[in-house]
Amino acid sequence: MKYIMVTGGVMSGLGKGITSASIGRLLVDMGYKVIPIKIDPYINIDAGTMNPFQHGEVYVLKDGTEVDLDLGHYERFIGIELTGEHNITTGKIYRNVIEKERKGEYLGQTVQIIPHITDEIKSWIRRVAKNSGAEICLVEIGGTVGDIEGMPFLEAIRQMKNEEKPEDFLLVHVTLVPLDSSGEQKTKPTQHSVKELRSIGLQPDVIVGRCKRKLEEGTKKKISLFCDVPIEAVISAEDAFDIYEVPLMFKEEKLDDYIISKLKLEKREANDEWEKMVNKLRNLEKEITIAVVGKYIDVQDSYLSIREALKHAGIEAGCKVKINWIDSGDLEKTSKVEIDADGILVPGGFGKRGAEGKMKAIEFARENDIPFLGICFGFQLAIIEFARHVIGWSDANSSELAETEHAVIDLLPEQKGVDKMGGTMRLGDIEVTIKQNTIAHKLYNKEKVFERHRHRYEVNPEFIPEFEKHGLVFSGYSDNGRRMEIFEYPKNKFFFGTQFHPEFKSRPYSPSPPFLGFVKSALGVDL
């Protein structure tokens, strides 16, 4: 097994996830099987309870594990479906060690960071790598070198480097190369970051310099000299017009050749699927505007998969997708809503704040026949809006938001009385049955699909006949028809909602069907 470890220095948010995903893409294009692992040093067991304002999007894997958004990058770039085994957190590691200690598995030893915690980390990485059947295991260590919470993971990596053959281990360090006031590229932050790495016994094999513009030859030479890496291993990662260009930038820098040489891998002919996709993205001429109405728009990474899925659909449909971010809280203060866009999307979310503003946007889309896509909570709010303004139940609501006679969104009987924040959550891949002769069937061209879920409340079965009487079609369902998964409103050209999150399965070369249908409709193209 070959291991590629990716660390970061100077500051967070430099793009370790994109770097890792891009390296994975280069190797996949050459026919290598790559398995990624993301290490998050926070003590949380997973990302499920984290505030999107602080941490960005909570990404859901096929087994229902809630994880950091970087695993979404891995799935989109590498073209793989991951599980919770591919996300290691401090919380998971310490939980495992404490459970073993309580069972007496350490035979009375004093349980310590070294060797017990570090052994658990190494064991987890090697187990996942072996069970995957992959040739290369790509491990991203979250945070920055020097963070106290990341030290056990870096120590485990140091031990692994000594335990593996030199040709089976590669360390990539991502650092910042800022510009000073006169525009000169400064290498001192990189030097200090590498010094910190060396102080714990790790020497990078590759340094990826994040910078505004391409690394100059003199800058590369200086980093090479002071950080003790060959100049061909100093890789420029300047700002790209789009993240999907990064693998091609790395290829231009010959990072793929260096990795192949260092790990003594066979040089294989690379396919050009990714390059063709990026060229298509670069040359899109048409443009549409999609209004995304949410409550986390100040941190747009909260809707990262939504943004990417719209982009994927645009590539396939042949248009750029410009996003107009609209704060649903602002719409609540407006008496008359006017949204200038080719399509309106209301994404998932939880809670009362901003819900009425989102429903105003949905009403505007329905009444003006503007293409609309509602996802998860957006799906539920569209049901409520329809009940209020088409059926005429002015008190219609979700029991999550208010007590009402017309709780058109509610917990199912077996969910009531269970811990709402945990026991009633539906997570991960669930089979959805799609009715024939519907827009949903036209989009998917299948009768059975698996889509990822992250929600608690459902369309109340008691009111379904009344919705159907007024023209709303429930075209997808699960759980033998007890749970509604897709609605569509044939009176409009595209008024569509999904209880699941189709954005999590969208790929740059294989867009999500609901997103593709939505973007095509916004573009004025027949489905």
Considering the domain architecture, whether residues 40 and 73 belong to the same structural domain is answered as: yes
Report the distance separating Cα 110 and Cα 97, nearest Å: 12
Alpha-carbon dihedral sign for residues 133, 24, 138, 46 = negative
Q: Where are the alpha helices (DSSP H) in 412-463?
A: 439-444
Check residue 195 and give its pLDDT.
96
Q: What are 344-396's pLDDT values in tens digits?
A: 999 998 888 889 999 999 999 999 999 999 999 999 999 999 999 999 999 99
Q: What is the DSSP letter of 62?
A: T
Percent of the chain having pLDDT more than 70? 98
Report the distance separating Cα 44 and Cα 124, nearest Å: 17
**Residue 97 Cα to chain centre, angstroms:** 29
* DSSP states of 4-23: EEEEE-SSS-S-HHHHHHHH
Residue 423 has pLDDT above 70, yes or no: no
* DSSP states of 177-238: --B-TTS-B--HHHHHHHHHHHHTT---SEEEEEESSPPPHHHHHHHHHHHT--GGGEEEEE
Q: Where are the alpha helices (DSSP H) in 105-150?
A: 118-132
pLDDT band at 242 (very low <50, low <70, confident <90, very high): very high
| Element housing 109 (H / E) | none
Q: What are 314-339's pLDDT values in tens digits?
A: 999 999 999 999 999 999 988 889 99
Q: What is the DSSP letter of 270?
A: P
Check residue 301 and give its pLDDT.
84
Report the distance separating Cα 374 and Cα 480, nearest Å: 23
Q: What are 259-283's pLDDT values in tens digits?
A: 999 999 998 888 999 999 999 999 9
Q: What secondary structure, in 3-state letters, does 148-174 show?
A: HHHHHHHHHHHHHHHHCCHHHEEEEEE
Tokens of 421: 């924040």
Q: Residues 146, 202: contact at Cβ < 8 Å?
A: no
Per the structure, how many domains does the chain have?
A: 2
Considering the domain architecture, whether residues 260 and 312 belong to the same structural domain is answered as: no
Q: What are 492-504's pLDDT values in tens digits?
A: 999 999 999 999 9
Q: Residues 341, 314: contact at Cβ < 8 Å?
A: no
Report the distance separating Cα 52 and Cα 243, nearest Å: 21
DSSP three-state, residue 170:
strand
> Where among 214, 243, 277 does a domain terminate?
277
Considering the domain architecture, whether residues 446 and 477 belong to the same structural domain is answered as: yes
Considering the domain architecture, whether residues 407 and 271 belong to the same structural domain is answered as: no
Q: What are 67-124's pLDDT values in tens digits?
A: 999 999 999 999 999 999 999 999 999 999 999 999 999 988 999 999 999 999 999 9
pLDDT top residue among 50 and 225: 225
Considering the domain architecture, whether residues 232 and 293 belong to the same structural domain is answered as: no
Query: What's the domain range around 300?
Result: 285-523
β-partners of residue 179 are: 185
Q: Which amino acid is at 99?
A: E
Check residue 264 and give its pLDDT.
97
Check residue 417 and give its pLDDT.
66
Residue 526 has pLDDT above 90, yes or no: no
Tokens of 176: 């910042």
Check residue 419 and give its pLDDT.
56
pLDDT band at 441 (very low <50, low <70, confident <90, very high): very high
Q: Give catalytic residue positions.
A: 376, 501, 503
Q: What are 164-186's pLDDT values in tens digits?
A: 999 999 999 999 999 999 999 99
- Asked whether the bond before 115 is cis by omega within 30 degrees of 0, the reply is yes
Considering the domain architecture, whether residues 85 and 222 belong to the same structural domain is answered as: yes
pLDDT band at 425 (very low <50, low <70, confident <90, very high): confident
Q: Which amino acid is at 137?
A: C
Considering the domain architecture, whether residues 199 and 62 belong to the same structural domain is answered as: yes
Check residue 350 and give its pLDDT.
83
- In whole angstroms, how far apart are CA 33 and each of 84, 246, 423? 19, 20, 36
Any residues with CB less than 8 A from the CB of 336 and at least 6 apart, and which?
none
**Residue 256 Cα to chain centre, angstroms:** 25
Considering the domain architecture, whether residues 143 and 273 belong to the same structural domain is answered as: yes
> Where among 277, 294, 309 does a domain terminate?
277
Considering the domain architecture, whether residues 270 and 309 belong to the same structural domain is answered as: no
Residue 455 has pLDDT above 60, yes or no: yes
Tokens of 494: 């595209």
pLDDT top residue among 527 and 132: 132
Q: Residues 123, 88: contact at Cβ < 8 Å?
A: no
Residue 240 has pLDDT above 70, yes or no: yes
pTM here is 0.94
Q: Residues 150, 44: contact at Cβ < 8 Å?
A: no
* CATH number for position 74: 3.40.50.300
pLDDT band at 418 (very low <50, low <70, confident <90, very high): low
Please, what is the end-to-end C-alpha distance for the chain in angstroms? 46
Considering the domain architecture, whether residues 71 and 160 belong to the same structural domain is answered as: yes
* CATH number for position 505: 3.40.50.880
Residue 225 has pLDDT above 70, yes or no: yes
pLDDT band at 54 (very low <50, low <70, confident <90, very high): low
Report the distance separating Cα 80 and Cα 135, nearest Å: 14
Considering the domain architecture, whether residues 126 and 164 belong to the same structural domain is answered as: yes
Check residue 520 and give its pLDDT.
98
Considering the domain architecture, whether residues 381 and 292 belong to the same structural domain is answered as: yes
Q: Residues 174, 19: contact at Cβ < 8 Å?
A: yes
> Where among 277, 301, 326 does a domain terminate?
277
Query: Checking phi first, is residue 307 left (phi over 0); if not, alpha (psi -120 to 50) or beta?
Result: alpha
Q: Which amino acid is at 503?
A: E
Q: Residues 308, 76: contact at Cβ < 8 Å?
A: yes
Mean pLDDT in residue range 219-234? 97
Compute how many other C-beta atoms are within 10 angstroms of the C-beta atom of residue 129.
20
Residue 293 has pLDDT above 80, yes or no: yes
- Over the chain, what is the mean pLDDT? 94
Check residue 296 and give its pLDDT.
84
Report the distance separating Cα 8 and Cα 343, nearest Å: 39
Tokens of 246: 């990064």
Mean pLDDT in residue range 42-52? 81
DSSP three-state, residue 142:
coil
Altogether, the residues listed in the chain come to a count of: 527
Alpha-carbon dihedral sign for residues 357, 359, 360, 364 = positive
Residue 421 has pLDDT above 70, yes or no: no
CA dihedral (489, 495, 500, 506) in degrees, to 10, reads 140
Between 118-132 and 151-163, two packed helices, what is the crossing angle to 10 degrees?
A: 60
